[in-house]
Structure 1
Amino acid sequence: MTLRRTEAEAASLRAIWTRDLLDSQPEFECGELVRLAACLCGTPIGLVTLLDERHQWFRASDDLKMGETPREVAFCAHAVRQNGLFMVNDALTDQRFSSNPLVTWDPAIRFFAGVGLYNSDDEPMGTFCVVDLVPRILSEDQMEALEILGRQISLRLEAVVQRKALEQALADKERASAGLRASEELFRAFMNASPFLSYIKDAAGRLLFYNRSFAQRFGVSEYAWLGRTDEQLWSRKLTKSVRTHDLEVMAGGKMVETEEHIRNSDGSVSSLRSFKFPCHDSAGNVLLAGVAVDVSEEVAHHAELERYHRELEDANDQLRKLAVTDELTGLRNRRSFEERLVMEFSLARRRKRELSVLLIDVDNFKTINDRWGHAAGDEVLRRLGMILRTTVRLPDLPARYGGEEFVVLLPESGEESAMGLARRVMQRVATEDWENEPLTISVGMASMNESLENGFQLVELADEALYAAKRAGKNRVMVHSG
């Protein structure tokens, strides 16, 4: 897929092409074709123009030595904006050019015919044209010849730009090679003075070079291990791991980052972060280069940080749970219920779905507290929470609303379904083996209707139904009748 350039990028490329062509010699590349075009068209002048955002340059012409002009007066600026040949038979009678200084002053152009010159990316480089100082009309054959020659000149100018780029690339490469040769000794000195562990191995895993830091790390001289392989230096388990990574680098041709654990000369274990990459000797043989840094402290710190993060996440999980959970009953608290209520009400109204609420109150709860104590009252609330949690459906949300009040949010449940759940809850309460005395509850139920503006109004309707149940003698379910 070809990415479309921005206007700024295209303008920058045009400037580079124009500079390259001006620095080269389009006259040499295109002179014969320009003269051939003038001859075929019977005009005294043939030329190539180059354009950038503000200027026009006249090139490859022996008869018109103007150098450059502003782009806004250029005939060529019109030619590059259309496909095919652009022709002005008489500039003095053409409103676009009758007051143009190239027409009214020197060189007093009257006739122009030209085609746009484009590179391989279809970006305009300039024009190829013939010019006369008197009006003129070209034949069909002449126009076709001019277009054919224009395509040939485009190819030649594109070749000029590509040759220029190639010459620049070769020059850059030569400068880089010279700089590399000049810095080779400096690089060797840098490697030996580096605090990092550096080494080079051949394809068989033999050490060809290692620096002072490497030697000091393992308590050897700077030459003692040269020519030795991994199998001669490390344990079998470590050798297998190290060699596997070495082969990955040489086979894949890319850098591999690993963390290795190396036993030091004093018996301690160090963690090294190793960066391995392929390189080549003067004969083209693939070698393995490596740089390693001691990260033992970082590894220990990271392990400690991970442990701290786990503990912190556990604490945050507990805090999040406490923020939405009633500590006594284990049900959701009022805040969590109201957040879910807002969401479910909006969803039900938008999708025309049913939604119901049960508001539950423990009958004579104050008497239970006064007679049996607050611990007994708390146990009643815990067991009622358990009954709700094990009786409702999976999508339903039971919550402690406050004090001895509980609430159940019933998504996609109408009056009949909600009444069924209320009766099941009352049945569970009635058959539960309560510790001190039988327990009863009163339930108020309300279902979604079109007059409600928010979920809190739905709870208010359930609350009204609950008070009606209380007034009617408790231990019953009442439905709010809109």
Structure 2
Amino acid sequence: MSTQLAENEDPSLKEIWTQELLDSQPEQECDELVNLAAGICGTPLGLVTLLNDRLQWFRSTDWLKRRQTPRESAFCSYVIRQHGLFVVTDSFTDPRFATNPLVTDDPGLRFFAGVPLQTGSGQLLGTLAVMDTVPRLLTEEQGHTLEVLGRQVSARLELLLQRTALEQALKEKEESAAGLRASEELFRAFMNASPFMSYIKDSAGRLLFYNRSFAQRFGVSEYAWLGRTDEQLLQRNPTASDRLRNLEVMVGDQILESEEQIRGANGEIRSLRSFKFPCYDSAGNILLAGVAVDVSEEVAHMAELERYHRELEEANNRLRKLAVTDELTGLRNRRAFEERLVMEFSMARRRKRELAVLLLDVDDFKKVNDRWGHAAGDEVLRRLGRILQTTVRLPDLPARYGGEEFAVLLPESGQESALGLARRVMERVASERWDNAPLTISIGMAALNDSSMDGFQLVEMADEALYAAKRAGKNRVVAHNG
């Protein structure tokens, strides 16, 4: 028999068994039971109906064969609402069926008797019924026999359901096994094509899976090391920290990234970046999975890059030092002096502090170069630089300002302390044993006052005082009077 299911209806369990029952092979046995029921009850029509939520299907004698009807107009809907035999002796006189299409139209049913069909667990399957187009009465023996036949049909249908369910389960198992085999083959093909080393271990550290890259790295076959541990593979015992990290990954449900040094099959030590993470088998057992990539070239490149950065930083430090340092004397150069001058002047103004500047010049320096040469002149400048470095205070800044001229920036120093420092420098110069002839210097001093506009004005004032010292006969200190 063919099956017609309601459109857009989910394939529920009831529809599945309806499909199987209608399309099943033992149709002859069902037809024999239907004919037997009709013969015993003396009716021209006997049928088995199968019901779902909205429709009923027939397995019947020749009349009504391959036919379906809406459930709401089906006599069988009344049968399944009760236990035991349901009889309508004359539908014309029964108000429940007098206007039923099956009564008023073809086939014009007048008599109906049926029993419900159900499994041992109480699941309703349908009905076994006999019908006629004329009114009829059933004897007690006919009614009892119809109930017995109903139980036989129910048993046959339940056996068919069980066999169908078993066949379906076996089919699904075979399909699942085939799907698992295909998935495993696809998984292994994917992992073997990967350039990363991959593996899965159980909680005891035994290898359950590893890919081709892993096998090639350690010089083993693709299956020989399954079931073996790290100790056997690497020929060393894992450390306590190794075991602890693996346990933390498995129980902590976290990903651990690390870099490891591994000796390969050829004895070469390679750097690996490893990612370990937990996974679970089909039984729910926790496993340790790992993926590792060879980063030896990257590590070597990074080491080279770090070495280059260190060298570059050292070179930059030297350049920065050269940029603010006078190469001959080792003192700060004019650029560094002026940068510090701007900062100290601004700070002195904001905090109302003192500030002073000294400008020094070697007397008759040209005669030194002309008489004893430029090397002797350079030595004079170097020694004068050392005198300044060892005479000034820690916060003071001595600098070579240009040629044979030097400058000293004196934070938090007024006129008196600045003049005191100038005199000490002159005393040091006078007491120094010079190589060729005694040396003298002239010094000009300027201190911050209310009319000072900026630090460069202080330098100009000190320069004016220096020229005044030169004009007054040299070898002296002059303070700016402004």
Partner in structure 2 of residue 405 of structure 1: 405
Query: Are 2:282 and 1:276 equivalent residues in the alignment?
Result: no
Task: State the superposition RMSD in angstroms.
Answer: 2.3
Structure 2: 5+ residue runs without aligned partners? Answer: 1-179
Paired residue secondary structure (1:358): strand
Paired residue secondary structure (1:232): helix
Amino acid at match of 1:414: G
Residue 192 of structure 1: how far off its partner (Å): 3.0
Query: Are 2:464 and 1:464 equivalent residues in the alignment?
Result: yes
Partner in structure 2 of residue 229 of structure 1: 229
Residue 193 of structure 1: how far off its partner (Å): 2.4
Paired residue secondary structure (1:225): coil
After superposition, what is the alpha-carbon deviation per residue over 1:234-270, rounded to whole angstroms, capped at 9, x for unaligned? 2547756644542342354321211111111111111
Amino acid at match of 2:476: R
Query: Are 2:326 and 1:326 equivalent residues in the alignment?
Result: yes
Amino acid at match of 2:407: V
Amino acid at match of 2:314: D
Partner in structure 2 of residue 446 of structure 1: 446
Residue 380 of structure 1: how far off its partner (Å): 0.7
Paired residue secondary structure (2:436): coil
Amino acid at match of 1:433: R
What TM-score, normalized by structure 1, do the two folds share?
0.60
After superposition, what is the alpha-carbon deviation per residue over 1:127-167, rounded to whole angstroms, capped at 9, x for unaligned? xxxxxxxxxxxxxxxxxxxxxxxxxxxxxxxxxxxxxxxxx
Amino acid at match of 2:296: S
Provide closer, same or farther for how the CA distance between residues 345 and 268 of structure 1 changes in structure 2, counting only shifts above 3 A: same
After superposition, what is the alpha-carbon deviation per residue over 1:18-61, rounded to whole angstroms, capped at 9, x for unaligned? xxxxxxxxxxxxxxxxxxxxxxxxxxxxxxxxxxxxxxxxxxxx
> Which structure has the larger Rg over C-alpha atoms?
2
Alpha-carbon distance between aligned partners in 1 of 2:322 and 2:336, rounded to the nearest angstrom: 11
Paired residue secondary structure (1:335): helix
Query: Are 2:422 and 1:418 equivalent residues in the alignment?
Result: no
Partner in structure 2 of residue 58 of structure 1: none
Partner in structure 2 of residue 213 of structure 1: 213
Kindly, what percent of the aligned residue pairs are identical?
81
Residue 233 of structure 1: how far off its partner (Å): 2.5
Alpha-carbon distance between aligned partners in 1 of 2:235 and 2:181, rounded to the nearest angstrom: 39
Alpha-carbon distance between aligned partners in 2 of 1:238 and 1:304, rounded to the nearest angstrom: 31
Provide closer, same or farther for how the CA distance between residues 452 and 181 of structure 1 changes in structure 2, counting only shifts above 3 A: farther
Please tell me whether the aligned partners of residues 231 and 238 of structure 2 are also in contact (alpha carbons under 8 angstroms): no
Amino acid at match of 2:374: H
Partner in structure 2 of residue 157 of structure 1: none
Alpha-carbon distance between aligned partners in 1 of 2:183 and 2:394, rounded to the nearest angstrom: 73
Amino acid at match of 2:403: G
Residue 187 of structure 1: how far off its partner (Å): 4.2
Provide closer, same or farther for how the CA distance between residues 247 and 434 of structure 1 changes in structure 2, counting only shifts above 3 A: farther
Alpha-carbon distance between aligned partners in 2 of 1:453 and 1:384, rounded to the nearest angstrom: 31
Please tell me whether the aligned partners of residues 188 and 211 of structure 2 are also in contact (alpha carbons under 8 angstroms): no
Provide closer, same or farther for how the CA distance between residues 183 and 445 of structure 1 changes in structure 2, counting only shifts above 3 A: farther
Query: Are 2:299 and 1:299 equivalent residues in the alignment?
Result: yes
Query: Are 2:432 and 1:432 equivalent residues in the alignment?
Result: yes
Paired residue secondary structure (1:246): helix
Please tell me whether the aligned partners of residues 331 and 400 of structure 1 are also in contact (alpha carbons under 8 angstroms): yes
What TM-score, normalized by structure 2, do the two folds share?
0.60
After superposition, what is the alpha-carbon deviation per residue over 1:308-332, rounded to whole angstroms, capped at 9, x for unaligned? 1111111111111111110000111
Provide closer, same or farther for how the CA distance between residues 395 and 236 of structure 1 changes in structure 2, counting only shifts above 3 A: farther
Amino acid at match of 1:302: M
Paired residue secondary structure (2:220): coil
After superposition, what is the alpha-carbon deviation per residue over 1:144-197, rounded to whole angstroms, capped at 9, x for unaligned? xxxxxxxxxxxxxxxxxxxxxxxxxxxxxxxxxxxx999777445422321110
